[in-house]
Amino acid sequence: MANDSAIAASRSGQGTGQSLDALSDEELVDRFLANLSADQTEAHRCFELVLARYQWLIAHIVRSSRYRFPAWDSAEDVINRAIFKVYRGLAQWRREGKLSSFIARIATSEMIDTIRRVRRDKSWNPRMVELGEADSDMPSAVERAPSREPSPEAQLLNRQKTELVDELLESVCRDWKDSVIVNDYIINNVGAREIVEKYEMSEDVVYQRARRLKVRLMKWAAERGIDSAQTLLGVGIKKKK
C-alpha cells in the first residue's frame, strides 16, 4: 500500500531526494507502483533510488560470475536487461523476503537465460572458466566423441532404466540441498569442503544429508524388493508392493 504521507509530502513540493531516501524499500516500491500510471516522473525517481540501493548487486551478480559472455551479448547487456526486468517485476514482489533477495533472483535468472541462449549458439562455448585454467574454445572430449546409437532394444532398456532412476531421484531428493549433494557428493565425488564453499552449507550438513540420502536410497531399493546389487542391475527387479 502506498505511503500516503510520503506521497502527500512529495506532491506538496516538500518531497525531495532526501525524503525518498528516508523511505524503506517497501515504501519506496509502493510509491513507485502508485505513481506508475499517474506520475511517471515520480515513479522513475523512485526506481532510480531503488537502483541506487541495489544496482551494485545486479552488477556484482553478473560480473563476478565465471561464465563468459560473448561480445554480442555482454555483461553490460545482461545488466541492462536485468534492470528492465526489475522495473517490470516490482509489481510482483510479495514482500515475503527482502527486496535485495528479489532483485538478486531476477538478475540471476536473467544471467541463466542468457547463458542458455548463448549456449544454443554452437559457435560459442560459455562454459565456466576455472580459475587458472587456459581459456580454450576447443571442443571437449565429450563433444568430440562420435555418436553411437544403441539398438532399439537397448534404447528401450535405457528408457526403462532412466525412468527407474528418475523415480529413485524424485523419491530421495526432498529439496535443492539433497539434489546438489546427490549430484556433487554421491555421483561426482566432490569433496565436502568444495560443496560447502559452492553451496554455502556447513560441512556437518553435507555429511548429515549424505548419510540420510544413503539411507533413503537403500530404503527405496528395499521397498522394491531389490536385495542385492545383481537384482538392481537387472537380473530381476521385483515390482513395488
Partner 1 sequence: MKSEAVKQEMFAALRGLLQGRAAGVNRQTASGKLPDDAGAHPDSGELAAFFYGKAKTAGVAAHVAACRSCADELALYVEAERAARRRRPTGAHVAAEKIPAAAWRLIAEWEESDFAKPKALDKTTSREVLDKLARLVLRRQAANRQPSRHAVSSPQANRVPVLVVNRQGELRGVELFERATNRRGDLTLVHAEKSSRFDDVELHAVTHPPKLGDRKSYDIESFRVHHGRVRVGKRADDSLTADDTEFFIIEE
CA distances, 52 to each of 34, 47, 100, 152 (Å): 19, 8, 12, 59
The amino acid occupying position 1 is: M
Listed in sequence order, the residues at least 6 apart from 10 whose beta carbon sits closer than 8 Å to its beta carbon are: 19, 20, 31, 42
Rounded least distance, CB 42 to partner 1, Å: 14
Rounded least distance, CB 130 to partner 1, Å: 12
Contacting residue, 26, 73, 179, 212, with partner 1 by CB under 8 A: 179
The 135-164 contact track toward partner 1, x by CB under 8 A, reads: -----x-xx-x-x----------x--xx-x
CA distances, 128 to each of 25, 54, 83, 91, 131 (Å): 34, 25, 24, 33, 9
Regarding 214 and contact with partner 1 (CB under 8 A), the answer is yes
* Whole-angstrom Cα Rg for the chain: 25
* Apex 153 CA angle, 150 and 159, nearest 5: 80
Regarding 98 and contact with partner 1 (CB under 8 A), the answer is yes
Which residue's CB is nearer to partner 1, number 7 or number 25? 25
Which residue's CB is nearer to partner 1, number 9 or number 168? 168
Contacting residue, 130, 134, 200, 235, with partner 1 by CB under 8 A: 200
Which residue's CB is nearer to partner 1, number 192 or number 226? 226
Regarding 232 and contact with partner 1 (CB under 8 A), the answer is yes
Cα separation, 134 vs 118, whole angstroms: 21
Choices 6-14, 149-157, 168-176, 203-211; region in contact with partner 1 by CB under 8 A = 168-176
Which residue's CB is nearer to partner 1, number 3 or number 179? 179
Regarding 51 and contact with partner 1 (CB under 8 A), the answer is yes
Regarding 26 and contact with partner 1 (CB under 8 A), the answer is no
104-133 residues in contact with partner 1 (CB under 8 A) are 104-105, 107-113, 115-116, 119-120, 122, 128
Regarding 166 and contact with partner 1 (CB under 8 A), the answer is yes
240 contacts 223 by C-beta, under 8 angstroms = yes
Sign, CA dihedral 137-138-142-148, equals positive
Contacting residue, 134, 138, 229, 235, with partner 1 by CB under 8 A: 229
Rounded least distance, CB 128 to partner 1, Å: 7
182 contacts 213 by C-beta, under 8 angstroms = yes
Regarding 54 and contact with partner 1 (CB under 8 A), the answer is yes
Listed in sequence order, the residues at least 6 apart from 197 whose beta carbon sits closer than 8 Å to its beta carbon are: none
